[in-house]
Copies of this chain bind each other. A is one copy, B any other.
Amino acid sequence: MNLGFGVVGTGAIGQEHMKRITRKLTGADIVAVTDVNQELAGNIVKELNLNASVHKDDTELINDPNVKAVLVTSWGPAHEGTVLKAIEAGKFVFVEKPLATTSEGCERIVTAEQEQGKRLVQVGFMRRYDSGYLQMKEAIDNNFIGEPLMVRCSHRNPEVGERYTTDMAILDTLIHEIDTLHWLVGDDYKSIQVTYPKKSSRALEHLKDPQIVTFETKSGIIMHAEIFVNCQFGYDIQCEVIGEEGVVKLPEVPSVGYRKDGVRGYKILQDWQHRFNDAFNNEFQDFIDSINQKGEPQGPSSWDGYIASVTGDAGVRAQTSEQVEVIELPDRPDFYKKTKLEESSL
């Protein structure tokens, strides 16, 4: 039987995921939706031609017996409340990042989930489902490059608008590297530091751009992550892991090679939607299949959401202090022991 999704928040990415679930993936249906903008919610149901109830709020939606899994794509500050209610009701949850906007909020979710007794929550860190990262993880796990020692990565965006603030470089942009890098090398963060290179004249006055973030892991791996959201030339995600015996590097996005006007070139993508479209599809299909077949999700857990939140908070502190900030995390509970997806690649 298909997994019945109830969607909380039918905005931009909510709609993307609804189309994905109904048009691209298999094994799930949208059976209910809600949004503080009730009209929007109703319109989407009509537009996508769904057989789905429109509920007045998340509580009502969660109580709908047809809803087996809650998709949380509301604004960040609303995530925690909905996730906690869904856990209490024993429903599965797919929550777009962030899991909660505070580390305390994440802790409350982690505690509630453990008390409730089994894994219910998956957080929307889709990069773990990107074929390039998966190939890198497989190579690292197979000891192809020996022990990882250093990581270098870049997160580049062509440009950002006025509402993008300096802390968002950590909390909205770097958040994906935060989740991916420790997973990739199978290690935990010990500290984070933020350095500000010379500012790009293309960045608006209030924004520090670019920024360089340095992580150190418990085993001593040093990771440099460049965040550059006004790089002008395209959406460009780079990642390279240097190990004792070799190096692996994320592939470039495949693009027709051309020769013209004195240039041998390849087009660069301009947006993250195209870059990670397959990853989003794989992520949701895995969430659906894992629940349908094994009774629980196996992707990034609320513990991963908690790690990201604690690390992100330390990162924001580091933006102000310009010092090395320690990342304090309790030991990973047995409940959140590594799943197959984390142990070996898809």
CB <8 Å contact, B263 and A268: yes
Quick one: copies of this chain in the complex?
4
The smallest beta-carbon distance between A222 and chain B, in angstroms, is 4
Interface centre among A136, A255, A258 (most CB of B within 10 A): A258
CB <8 Å contact, B258 and A144: yes
- In the complex, chain B residues whose CB is within 8 Å of the CB of A220: 196-199
Distance in angstroms between the alpha carbons of A188 and B150 in the assembled complex: 27
Distance in angstroms between the alpha carbons of A251 and B264 in the assembled complex: 13
The smallest beta-carbon distance between A174 and chain B, in angstroms, is 16
A-B residue pairs in contact (CB < 8 Å), sample of 22: A26-B26, A136-B256, A144-B258, A146-B200, A147-B200, A147-B201, A149-B197, A150-B197, A150-B212, A195-B214, A198-B219, A200-B244, A201-B244, A202-B244, A232-B245, A233-B245, A233-B259, A234-B259, A248-B258, A251-B256, A263-B263, A263-B265
> Is A252 an interface position by the 8 A CB rule?
yes
Distance in angstroms between the alpha carbons of A22 and B198 in the assembled complex: 47
> Is A69 an interface position by the 8 A CB rule?
no
> Is A228 an interface position by the 8 A CB rule?
yes
- In the complex, chain B residues whose CB is within 8 Å of the CB of A149: 197-200, 210, 228
The contact size tier of chain A is 35 or more
Distance in angstroms between the alpha carbons of A262 and B234 in the assembled complex: 5
The smallest beta-carbon distance between A243 and chain B, in angstroms, is 9
User: With contacts A149-B210, A150-B212, A254-B253 known, is A246 near B259, CB below 8 A?
Assistant: yes
**CB contact between A260 and one of B200, B247, B256, B289 (< 8 Å): that residue:** B247
Distance in angstroms between the alpha carbons of A48 and B311 in the assembled complex: 44
Closest chain B residue to A261, Cβ basis: B233
Distance in angstroms between the alpha carbons of A233 and B263 in the assembled complex: 7
Contacts of A176-197 to chain B: CB distance below 8 A: 195-197
Contacts of A12-62 to chain B: CB distance below 8 A: 22-27
Interface centre among A232, A264, A266 (most CB of B within 10 A): A264
> Is A132 an interface position by the 8 A CB rule?
yes
Closest chain B residue to A244, Cβ basis: B200
- In the complex, chain B residues whose CB is within 8 Å of the CB of A247: 231, 233, 258-260
- In the complex, chain B residues whose CB is within 8 Å of the CB of A248: 256-258
The smallest beta-carbon distance between A202 and chain B, in angstroms, is 6
Distance in angstroms between the alpha carbons of A232 and B145 in the assembled complex: 10
> Is A267 an interface position by the 8 A CB rule?
yes
